[in-house]
Amino acid sequence: MSESTKYLLDESKLPKAWYNINADMPVPPQPVLHPGTKELVTPDFLGVLFPMSLILQEISTERYIEIPEPVREVYKLWRPTPLFRARRLEKALDTPAHIYYKYEGVSPVGSHKPNTAVPQAFYNKEAGTKTLTTETGAGQWGSALAMACNFFGLDLEVYMVKVSYHQKPYRRIIMQTFGAEVYASPTDRTQYGRALLAETPDSPGSLGIAISEAVEVAATSGGAKKYSLGSVLNHVLMHQTVIGLETLEQMALAGEYPDVVIGCAGGGSNFAGFTFPFIRENLTNGQKTHVIAVEPASCPTMTRGTYAFDYGDTAAMAPIVKMHTLGHTFVPPGIHAGGLRYHGMSPQVSALVAGGHIEARAIHQLATFEGAVTFARAEGIVPAPESAHAVRAAIDEAVACKKTGEQKVIAFNLSGHGHFDMMAYQAYFNGDLEDYDYPAEAIAEAMRHLPDIG
């Protein structure tokens, strides 16, 4: 076992291929259905939204997909990212556990999101796309795609969840710095947005609503614009696996292998990117790592949602997939973990949760921020509210080790820093945050609106 605190990889160790979990899924993938006909979706329908290169990645069962050299060159701006042994946190918790964290906050925009934004911009540029549309919650995805579009010479329209548009103005300004146009969703720019505002003028918005607007703009552009998604779909999760692939190498440098791996989960991208390579080892090489996906108790998709076919957006324009869902009509409370407020979960992550390969865990807002402050005071990094869910779970696991005396190795993904989330921390310190359990009756009502696929 190494006595180091930081484990770095040379640029030569930057992965040359992404890992595609479709090759090793213990259950066959569920069909993707057309939102109108409820029949199997066709490449022609998907081609309105995505370039064919990404559609082929979405359905591929090849275990590894080569990373194009122009993408690897941009990755080198921040990758490989560091793995830290959290020795100061271990001491503060007085735990026998060994805690490691992979730090994705070193990217230019401060999160893991560029890992897929860069290849999506690259493949769209290669296909002749001029403009992309997208949604964003807390703004991390929008910031990453704005940077990537700038690098590859694409225009970008971002539909940002309205409550986050006002809570996170600095992320909006970052997007504008890279040349993107940013709109508070719901807007009056789309047919769906206008209809929703007529019904609910003070709507705080949701990721599902913002997706609907971005999809509508792309789908009605006559091919002039394509749509880009920051989570949920397989090609997005696959691009993120550079995180876990690097971590496997770094754990070898540390001379240890994790007993527990943890990631926060909203749509599944950073969680899958970190954990899928470890799940591969569980599925194919006999490892027994315990995998934990952590979500907010106020948006309990995996822990209280239903595993069912549902629309990917609120307006029922996006494809229907089988996933853990709170219902596409779900409108989340205005909690500060803006990136974890999607109504659904990645189909691959959902299938693995349903199959018992992943433990889903929900944590309240106050405990999350308490963990974030404990981590910051020990390790010197202020986590994003989303990432703080993984921090909290890692602390809980380490405290449990103190009680049992076990010297477990715990690794989690610190998916981004919280430098643009100070209003959330201020609200926590001022006592303005409250724990919130999403009402059971609201979930039951949303389930009534799931699509009938016969």
Q: In the CATH hierarchy, which fold is given to the domain comprising 6-13+68-110+235-447?
A: Rossmann fold (3.40.50)
pLDDT tens-digit readout, 162-196: 988 988 889 999 999 999 999 999 999 999 999 99
C-alpha 149, offset from chain centre: 19
- From 80-94, 233-247, 309-323, the region with the lowest mean pLDDT: 309-323
Q: Is the pLDDT of residue 198 over 80?
A: yes
CB of 255 within 8 A of CB of 2? Answer: yes
Distance CA 22, CA 373 (A): 37
pLDDT at 8 over 70: yes
9, two tokens: 């990889």
Residue-wise pLDDT tens digits, 216-227: 999 999 989 999
* 294 has pLDDT over 80: yes
pLDDT tier for residue 338 given thresholds of 50, 70 and 90 = low
Categorize the per-residue pLDDT at 208 as very low, low, confident or very high, splitting at 50, 70 and 90: confident
264-292 tens-digit pLDDT: 999 999 999 999 999 999 999 999 999 99
pLDDT above 60: residue 335: no
Res 61 pLDDT > 80? yes
Q: Which residue has the higher pLDDT, 29 or 135?
A: 135
> Per-residue pLDDT tens for 227-252?
999 999 999 999 999 999 999 999 99
- Give the per-residue pLDDT at 339: 65
> 3-state secondary structure string, the chain?
CCCCCEECCCHHHCCCEEECHHHCCCCCCCCCECCCCCCECCHHHHHCCCCHHHHHHHHCCCCEEECCHHHHHHHCCCCCCCEEECHHHHHHHCCCCEEEEEEHHHCCCCECCHHHHHHHHHHHHHCCCCEEEEEECCCHHHHHHHHHHHHHCCEEEEEEEHHHHHHCHHHHHHHHHCCCEEEEECCCCCHHHHHHHHHCCCCCCCHHHHHHHHHHHHHCCCCCEEECCCCCCHHHHHHHCHHHHHHHHHHHHHCCCCCEEEEECCCCHHHHHHHHHHHHHHHHHCCCCEEEEEEECCCCHHHHCEEEEEECCCCCCCCEEEEEECCCCCCCCCCCCHHHCCCECCHHHHHHHHCCCCEEEEECHHHHHHHHHHHHHHHCCCECCCHHHHHHHHHHHHHHHHHHCCCCEEEEEECEECCCCHHHHHHHHCCCCCCCCCCHHHHHHHHCCCCCCC
Closest CA to 237 of 280, 271, 282, 278: 271
pLDDT digits (tens, 9 = 90+) for 357-410: 999 999 999 999 999 999 999 999 999 999 999 999 999 999 999 999 999 999
Cis peptide before 319 (omega within 30 of 0): no
pLDDT at 137: 84
CA 147 to CA 130: how far, in whole Å? 15
Comparing 62 with 318, which gets the higher pLDDT? Answer: 62
Q: Measured on CA atoms in the order 322, 326, 331, 332, is the torsion positive or negative? A: negative
